[in-house]
Each structure stands twice: as C-alpha cells, then as structure tokens.
C-alpha cells in the first residue's frame, strides 16, 4: 500500500535536490543534483533504499508555536501536480516507510523501544482508518449570529480537508518529516517488531488518535470532533486507579500519581524532538493577558467584534477538564466557541496548549491556568513514554489508552 503525502502546496516552483538516480514517467533520467520544476512531473528512484529527494524549505508546525522551515530528505516517489494556488509536491511512499518516518517525527528515535512499538501500531492504524473513512464529514466550521449581538462559532478539523493527497505531512494529520536525521535503526525496529499489527474494534481498524500530554485524564472523542461515540476513544485516568473528579482544583493541582507528570528531564530529552524540547511546563501551564490585549486578539482571531472582554465562562467541559464550549462576553457582543481546538486558536496567536484551563479575572488582566498539551483523545505520548521506560509492554500501553480495542495482525 502506498500513501500519498502532501509536502508543500501553492508554490510557483518546486525546488528539490536529488540524491541518487531517478526517472520520470517518460523514461528521462535525473542524476544527483538540484532541479527546479515549474510544472507537473513524477520522479521515481531507481534504487529506492539508497535514493532520496531533499526539500530545503520544508515547513513544519504550521500555525503552531514551533512553526519553522527545515531541510528534510524523503524516500519514495516525488510527484508534482497543479493545484488551485500553484504547484503541490506529493510524496508517494510505502505504508511501512511512512510509519517509520512518522514515529521518528512524532517522537525521537531514542525513545524507549516499547513507546516506538506502540506508536508504530497507533500511526499505522490511524492512517489505514483514515483511508477507509474517505472524505466523510471530518471537518466542520460554522459561524452564525443566533440573536442580536449573540454569536456562535462551532468547529472541528479532520484530515478530510485534503483532496489532492491522502494526508499532509504536518500535525494536522500526523508528523511526517522524511528520513530521520539519526537513530533510524530504532524507528525501523519499532516498525518491524509490529509489522502488520493494527488496533481493531468491532472488526474495523481503529481511528487511533494521539497527542503530547493529557494532563492527567484522557478525553472523549466527541469533546474534540463530531458528536458520536467511539468506544475505544473514551476518558481514562493516566495512572493507576479510577478517573478522579476533574474540577478547577484538579486543573490547578500537580498530581504526582499521573504517568505524564514526570520530572525525568533525561527521558523527555530522549523522547522529544529537538523543537518539542523548547516547550516547557506543559503538564501544568499559565498564560496571562492584559484585558485589552486579549480583547483585540479574540476579535481578530474569531472575526467577531466583541469589544472589551468582560468574562470567559466555560459552559461545558469533558471528563479531562477540557472546555468543549466557552462563552466569551464582550462590551459589544458575546460569542460561544466550540470545540476544543477552536477555543485554543481564538485565545492564542497560535494555539493554547489545551482547552483544559481555569480563568482568573484580575481587573486589567486575565490569567489562564491549564493542564496538558493537545486534544487529549487517545494515546498520551508522554504518559506512554513513562510507562515504556518503567517496563510496561507496548501491548499493555495500547490497552490502557484504547480500552476495549484489540491488537490484530492483518496482511
């Protein structure tokens, strides 16, 4: 099975460097060197295991606080196609090569082996489930005025926003950053050890979601996406025991019995990619705004002129404490926002770490105290890393974060 991964879009010219010999669909040969393509082309490596193409300005973390350009190498075919805004570069790559790159892009190849094994099963399952689902209903956004000066904004985002390729190479889908800079043997071992293994529920491959840090409790699928039940994407306590009562005090607390609450900086240094290491204090975090600053930010990011913000009021929370619907009262209008990602986008220039936060209103300033990093649905990468480091097998890690799902080998 080949996966079509969108690498870059809307370019007037696609500039690449080839390492090894390639051939286009007409049989023309391309030796190692730099090339600029101004129109459609398909290049296939003559020796797939020892040939790559290189993008110098490959953008990662689009829209997030770690956004930047990097030089990255990719295995497989390079396909340049016409798009509505210019040229799109697509990498057609075998499934297992794709998974190897994903687990080395999402988490460092120096991670504990059972974390890499668990992530290989998760990432393989996720992409196959997305391809099986096709383009059905995974992205939704609606802004409407429900009454005079009363607005409602509801949004969630799935991979179905892409039409020219199967998945993108960024966090919108799952990170795919080409050939690992180092440690590829460990990533490849994680893929080989779990080859053809999938998470399965009800006979179907699981839509296995994941993120960085749950903050103590994982979240229900419907809190982040459409209102439907997914039996294996339900809240679990990220530790031994039952789910506690997640309230304001919980979000402010520093619970020691939580897997993802780790002070093992050496482990995080091995697990996180170089740019993820720049993000500190994600288990519990604080963001503070001047009221005037937040008022301008929210109006600009939402597209609704709310005036001066008077109050942020959570209307609905999930079991992890993540806010599903937030009411923002302003001097000119009020806006109700959902779901979790849209809340995070509107209250930040990029994204808040999560929507699990409490609000402290202090005259001219508003402070948000929050828990976790990401949507919280499915695998908690930091919690899984701690479990793996402590000797928990990848199969038990997967059973913890996807209750009721089974691991099944499929050819």
> How many Å apart are CA 89 and CA 237, to the nearest integer?
41
- pTM of this prediction? 0.92
Going by pLDDT thresholds of 50, 70 and 90, the confidence category of residue 159 is low
Output the average pLDDT for the chain. Answer: 92
Tens digit of pLDDT for each residue in 206-237? Answer: 999 999 999 999 999 999 999 999 999 999 99
Instruction: Give the pLDDT mean for 377-402.
Output: 97
pLDDT at 389 over 70: yes
Instruction: Give the pLDDT mean for 373-384.
Output: 97
Weakest-pLDDT range from 121-125, 240-244, 337-341: 240-244
Instruction: Give the pLDDT mean for 368-382.
Output: 97
pLDDT at 286 over 70: yes
> How many Å apart are CA 332 and CA 79, to the nearest integer?
50
pLDDT at position 233 is 98
Weakest-pLDDT range from 117-126, 168-177, 368-377: 168-177
Tens digit of pLDDT for each residue in 287-340? Answer: 999 999 999 999 999 999 999 999 999 999 999 999 999 999 999 999 999 999
pLDDT at position 244 is 93
CB neighbourhood size of 367 (10 A): 14
pLDDT at position 63 is 65
Weakest-pLDDT range from 174-178, 225-229, 247-251, 332-336: 174-178
Instruction: Give the pLDDT mean for 4-20.
Output: 93
pLDDT at 68 over 60: yes
pLDDT at 61 over 70: no
Instruction: Give the pLDDT mean for 190-214.
Output: 96
Weakest-pLDDT range from 44-53, 61-70, 71-80, 312-321: 61-70
């Amino acid at each position: 099975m080949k996966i079509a991964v969108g690498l870059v879009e809307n370019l007037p010219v696609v500039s690449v460097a080839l390492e090894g010999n390639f051939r286009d669909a007409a049989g023309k040969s391309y030796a190692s060197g730099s090339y600029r393509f101004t129109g459609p082309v398909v290049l296939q490596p003559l020796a797939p295991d020892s040939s790559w193409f290189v993008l110098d300005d490959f953008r990662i973390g689009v829209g997030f606080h770690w956004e930047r350009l990097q030089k990255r190498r990719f295995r497989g075919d390079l396909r340049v196609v016409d798009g509505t805004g210019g040229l799109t570069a697509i990498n057609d790559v075998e499934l297992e090569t794709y998974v190897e790159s994903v687990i080395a892009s999402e988490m460092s190849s120096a991670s504990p082996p059972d974390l890499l094994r668990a992530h290989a099963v998760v990432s393989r399952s996720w992409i196959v489930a997305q391809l099986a689902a096709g383009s059905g209903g995974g992205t939704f956004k609606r802004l409407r005025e429900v009454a005079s000066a009363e607005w409602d904004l509801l949004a969630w985002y799935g991979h179905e926003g892409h039409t020219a390729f199967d998945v993108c190479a960024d966090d919108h889908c799952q990170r795919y950053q080409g050939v690992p800079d180092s440690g590829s043997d460990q990533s490849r071992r994680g893929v080989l050890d779990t080859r053809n293994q999938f998470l399965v529920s009800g006979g179907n491959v699981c839509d296995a979601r994941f993120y960085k840090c749950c903050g103590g409790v994982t979240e229900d699928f419907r809190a982040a996406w459409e209102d439907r039940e997914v039996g294996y994407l339900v809240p679990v306590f990220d530790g031994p025991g039952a789910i506690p009562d997640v309230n304001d005090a919980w979000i402010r607390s520093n619970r020691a019995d939580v897997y993802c609450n780790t002070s093992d900086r050496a482990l995080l240094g091995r697990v996180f990619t170089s740019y993820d290491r720049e993000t500190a204090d994600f288990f519990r975090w604080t963001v503070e705004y001047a009221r005037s600053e937040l008022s301008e930010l929210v109006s600009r990011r939402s597209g609704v002129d709310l005036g001066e913000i008077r109050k942020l009021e959570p209307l609905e929370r999930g079991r992890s404490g993540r806010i599903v619907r937030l009411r923002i009262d302003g001097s000119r209008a009020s806006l109700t926002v959902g779901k979790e990602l849209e809340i995070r986008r509107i209250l930040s220039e990029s994204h808040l770490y999560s929507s699990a936060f409490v609000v402290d209103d202090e005259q001219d300033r508003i402070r948000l105290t929050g828990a976790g990093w990401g949507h919280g649905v499915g695998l908690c990468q930091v919690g899984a890393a701690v479990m793996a480091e402590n000797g928990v097998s990848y199969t038990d890690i997967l059973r913890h974060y996807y209750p009721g799902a089974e691991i099944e080998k499929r050819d």
